[in-house]
Structure 1
Amino acid sequence: MKKALILAVSCLMLIGLSACSGNSDSNRNKNNSAAGNSTQKDTPKSQSNTSEASNAATNAEADAAPQELEPLDDKPKTIVVSILAATDIYKQAKAEYEALHPNTKIELKEFAPKGGMISGPDVEKYIKSTTTEVLSGKGADLFAFTTVELPIDKYVNKGAFENVDEWMKRDAGFDPQQYQMNIMEGSKMNGGLYMLPIEFFLEALYGDADGIKKAGVTIDDKNWTWSQFAEISKQLADKNGHTYSMNFLPPEAMIDNLVSDNYNRLIDGANGKASFDTPFFTELLTDVKEMYNEKELSGDAVEYTKSYLYYSLMTSPSDYLLRLGMYFKDGKVYQKPHAADQKSGISFLVTNQIAMNANSEVKRDAWEFMKFLLSEEMQQAGYSGFSMNKALNEKAIEDVKKNGLDKNVAAKGGGASAEATDENLKVLREMLSEAGLRNIGYETTVQKIIGEEVKAFFSGQKSADAVAKLIQNRVTTYLNE
């Protein structure tokens, strides 16, 4: 790819190594020997000092260790959960949690009209009122995020949400080994976990493995970057009957991926700064546009068989096998490329998450409800994506191996799917355990602004510089509101 994409993915990582040192056993023995020359009269005082120092060290360790959570009490209380429209899952969670905790009421604070369709004005009203509440330190105890784009990055940067990572560490009843902690680790922002994932989708590229091999191209998807992807796209385009290297991906979606992978370079939310009016971003725009002009990439709804690669999400073991057999005869899953300064790994999207108000007066109980949403009972209640519970994901894999594809999923593929072989399912297991790169492109207001403005550039209505300045102004204004 050209200069901007190469710059975008070629940032060098500086790794600092530090070492600590302490007195050796020989030095301690030497000092103890010297201390033996002291008089018998001094010995009790020395022992007393040693005991005091030991006690002080023990107390310091105790203070540094996370304090365990206090037990739940039986006092009547209400946990308010803010949500645009209560889903069946949240209604079920409310009923079952209240049955387990008779003195606790879960209030689902909905903004959508009762029994009516959610309109654009409804959504805008919800975003505005929720943001006002969150940033003023008021509002609900918990905020459930499903399909509506809220300025999550702003909430986190303003310290409005509780770091639930600390609650996990303090809760002796929370067993990290039960959960997809790689998804939680990949969801951290500003060094903490402020949005607790409830379910997620995997993100990957399905490819024509046989066609790529015949084209004489080797893809090391465990390590490939966006600049390598650009070079490979040139080699693959318009060969062996394939017009494009990848299609079904509009240019604004391509930009979305690149911005997501270089988010920290372009957006400094904590300090209210953005870097879009720079050669880095304008050349990024022009280079992506050239890839579409040269028909290396396509956003048209053409047959996927006209390209070597096909970007897709996967939501379950059945969905994974369906896509593996439906897109290409010899289909293979490839990791999505990443920036050079990112660790290699599988990318994912979080589709359901919940946050705790940092100013809630019922944090202890709010955390218990959040944890209940992760329980095996709730995780198998009908979520639409992969579970945060590892045992349930494994059960779903074994089920598809034993019983075949889910009927509702299979109906979408017209009978085409890959077999549930040990080899195919091993790939899925590895993806679930290795997923760690979160695509935040569909979640933040910043990304929404970018998606709206870049369309004018790709349609030829505005120049790259003009679009970059518009994005810079809008994002800067948003970050400093």
Structure 2
Amino acid sequence: MKNILILVLSCIMLVYLSACNGNSTNSAGDPQKNANDESSAAANMESDATPQGLEPLDDKPKTIIVSILGITPFYKLAKEKYEALHPNTTIQFEEFTSGSMMSASEVERYIKSTTTEVLSGKGADLFAITTVELPIDKYVNKGAFENIDNWMQRDTSFDQKLYQMNIITGSKMNGGLYMMPVEFCLEALYGDADGLKNAGVTIDDKDWTWSRFAEISKQLASNNGSAYTMNYLPPEAMINNLVSDNYHQLINGESGKLTFDSTVFTKLLTEVKQLYDEKELRGEASKKSLLTYSLMNSPSDYLVRLASYYKNGKVYQKPHAADQQSGVSFLATNQIALNANSKIKRDAWEFMKLLLSEEVQSYPHQAGFSMNKSVNENAIEDVLKNGIDKDVGAKGGGAVVEVTDEKLDVLRDMLSEASLRNIGYETTIQKIVSEEVKAFFTGQKSADAVAHLVQNRVTTYLNE
């Protein structure tokens, strides 16, 4: 009996020890390792339960500092709305100027002061970039801006279906989104449909490159020597169009490698010069052109340009580089970035989201299309119902503007297909290009000489 009792107690102790060991040891008898495994498993379970979630906002008093060239009514409205929703938070603008016009020296001073602030590791929480281009490449390469894509993915309340995600995706650089577009313009070529038809030219703008554009230009020149393919675009502006389209070939943001001194750039220079030398393109305005390069920033603006440029106007996608996918080109006219060193990123991100909301994006007299799909659709429906904006119509020179579903459907397609971001016309790099290529187009320097000068100046600029 005594032996049986000892056997039973031994079994109970064995079960108890096994249970304890299952929680504190592994098969190798390492209790610390097993504890770590348990901790990791618990963390993974918690992560799976709330994937990509953001911590809730707290009610602690705080100030979100926004660096901006000049406060606009749009940003004033956003400040009012945000502070009403979050009474313990203040939006404070660091304004560079309150004037509407700036001299070249003031612009240079603004760029330098902002760059110093951005690269200092301190500065504002948010940087609003509006009318003056800033050296974004340098900021991103130095790690000064936060990758906003991570915040969009983590925030389950950010419904991507509400926004022009094609514009957001097209705005990425170096594998991330470092500048959130707030509004944008579309780039296009307006064409003389009758003139092109009479010249025997058919344009497949869904898949045409700048090389194909050059071929069509030669065809038009031979068929109708008195007509230009495209006008009012100086050669240095044309080059910067091509620099933008070939940007990642010329400037590798991730590696920092530049290839302006390669045949890629010298070939672009030579081809563009030939187009102007042979009178296929024209830097000045001319009524003889069959295509006109233009931006558009609203449904009314689109329709007025369509009616005023040509009697029977048609809009085409801008040609693209050979290694680019086909798509409509766009230019971001208002952007905002999050300081990678901000101490209140969670709150700053919330303010960025508000800028994209339907309520704020519906602010009238914006200088571009909205990032909110419903706002764009409402603007189109308003034109169908009430006609074009009178202020925009006054710029059309008395042209009779026809508002139809068919024409506005073309605009709808362009808004949904826009994916090729124009880097901009006033960036420091493009200013360098514009300054140096003039010597080539006037015959003062060779393409190779200009390419080396651009390479050296851009290298120096990016390394400053």
- Is TM-score (shorter-chain normalized) higher than 0.5? yes
What is the root-mean-square deviation in Å for CA atoms of aligned residues?
2.4
Q: For residues 325 and 148 of structure 1, do their structure 2 counterparts lie closer, same or farther at Cα, with a shift above 3 Å needed?
A: same
Partner SS state of residue 207, structure 1: strand
Q: CA deviation at 1:115?
A: 5.0
Q: CA deviation at 1:424?
A: 0.7
Asked if 1:392 corresponds to 2:375, the answer is: yes
Taking the TM superposition and a 5 Å limit, the aligned residue runs for 1:364-443 are 364-382=346-364, 383-442=366-425
Taking the TM superposition and a 5 Å limit, the aligned residue runs for 1:12-23 are none
Q: For residues 116 and 295 of structure 1, do their structure 2 counterparts lie closer, same or farther at Cα, with a shift above 3 Å needed?
A: closer
Partner SS state of residue 271, structure 1: coil
User: Which of 234, 242, 247 is the equivalent residue of 1:263?
Assistant: 247
- The residue that corresponds to 2:95 in the other structure is 110
Q: Contact 1:211–1:240 (CA<8 Å) still a contact in 2?
A: no
Which amino acid in the other structure matches residue 451 of structure 2? A
Q: CA deviation at 1:63?
A: 5.8
Partner SS state of residue 268, structure 1: coil
Q: For residues 174 and 242 of structure 1, do their structure 2 counterparts lie closer, same or farther at Cα, with a shift above 3 Å needed?
A: farther
Ranked by relative contact order (alpha carbons within 8 Å, sequence separation 6 or more), the top structure is: 1
Q: CA deviation at 1:453?
A: 1.3
Q: Contact 2:70–2:99 (CA<8 Å) still a contact in 1?
A: no
Q: CA deviation at 1:131?
A: 1.2
Q: CA deviation at 1:237?
A: 2.4
Which amino acid in the other structure matches residue 243 of structure 1? A
User: Which of 98, 115, 121 is the equivalent residue of 1:137?
Assistant: 121
Taking the TM superposition and a 5 Å limit, the aligned residue runs for 1:49-88 are 59=44, 62=47, 66-88=51-73
Q: CA deviation at 1:443?
A: 5.4
Q: CA deviation at 1:442?
A: 2.1
Asked if 1:252 corresponds to 2:241, the answer is: no
Partner SS state of residue 137, structure 1: coil
Asked if 1:301 corresponds to 2:285, the answer is: yes
- The residue that corresponds to 1:125 in the other structure is 109
Q: For residues 138 and 109 of structure 1, do their structure 2 counterparts lie closer, same or farther at Cα, with a shift above 3 Å needed?
A: same
Q: Contact 1:315–1:385 (CA<8 Å) still a contact in 2?
A: yes
Q: Distance in 1 between matches of 2:207 and 2:461?
A: 35
User: Which of 242, 259, 281 is the equivalent residue of 1:275?
Assistant: 259
- The residue that corresponds to 1:361 in the other structure is 343
Partner SS state of residue 337, structure 1: coil
Q: Distance in 1 between matches of 2:182 and 2:133?
A: 16
Percentage identity across paired residues of the two chains: 73
Q: Distance in 2 between matches of 1:333 and 1:119?
A: 35
- The residue that corresponds to 2:321 in the other structure is 339
User: Which of 72, 76, 80 is the equivalent residue of 1:95?
Assistant: 80
Q: Deviations over 1:57-78 (max 9, x none)?
A: 9937946974311111110001
Partner SS state of residue 166, structure 1: helix
Q: TM-score, normalised by structure 2?
A: 0.88
Which amino acid in the other structure matches residue 415 of structure 1? G
Q: Distance in 1 between matches of 2:140 and 2:321?
A: 24
Which amino acid in the other structure matches residue 171 of structure 1? D
Number of paired residues?
A: 430
- The residue that corresponds to 1:350 in the other structure is 332
Q: Contact 2:172–2:178 (CA<8 Å) still a contact in 1?
A: yes
Q: CA deviation at 1:82?
A: 0.6
Partner SS state of residue 449, structure 1: helix
Q: Distance in 2 between matches of 1:102 and 1:289?
A: 59
Q: Deviations over 1:402-426 (max 9, x none)?
A: 1111000110112314422121111
Q: Distance in 1 between matches of 2:162 and 2:401?
A: 29
- The residue that corresponds to 2:191 in the other structure is 207
Q: Contact 2:141–2:254 (CA<8 Å) still a contact in 1?
A: yes
- The residue that corresponds to 2:455 in the other structure is 472
Q: Distance in 1 between matches of 2:265 and 2:373?
A: 39
Asked if 1:235 corresponds to 2:223, the answer is: no
Q: Deviations over 1:72-95 (max 9, x none)?
A: 111000111011211222122222
Partner SS state of residue 249, structure 1: coil
Q: Distance in 1 between matches of 2:72 and 2:130?
A: 9
Q: TM-score, normalised by structure 1?
A: 0.85
**Structure 1: gaps spanning 5 or more residues:** 1-43
Structure label with greater radius of gyration: 2
Which amino acid in the other structure matches residue 418 of structure 2? A
Q: Distance in 1 between matches of 2:198 and 2:355?
A: 48
Q: Deviations over 1:402-458 (max 9, x none)?
A: 111100011011231442212111101000011000011325322221112112222
Q: For residues 211 and 64 of structure 1, do their structure 2 counterparts lie closer, same or farther at Cα, with a shift above 3 Å needed?
A: farther
Which amino acid in the other structure matches residue 63 of structure 2? T
Q: For residues 357 and 232 of structure 1, do their structure 2 counterparts lie closer, same or farther at Cα, with a shift above 3 Å needed?
A: same
Q: For residues 477 and 434 of structure 1, do their structure 2 counterparts lie closer, same or farther at Cα, with a shift above 3 Å needed?
A: same
Q: Contact 2:329–2:419 (CA<8 Å) still a contact in 1?
A: yes
Q: For residues 316 and 357 of structure 1, do their structure 2 counterparts lie closer, same or farther at Cα, with a shift above 3 Å needed?
A: same
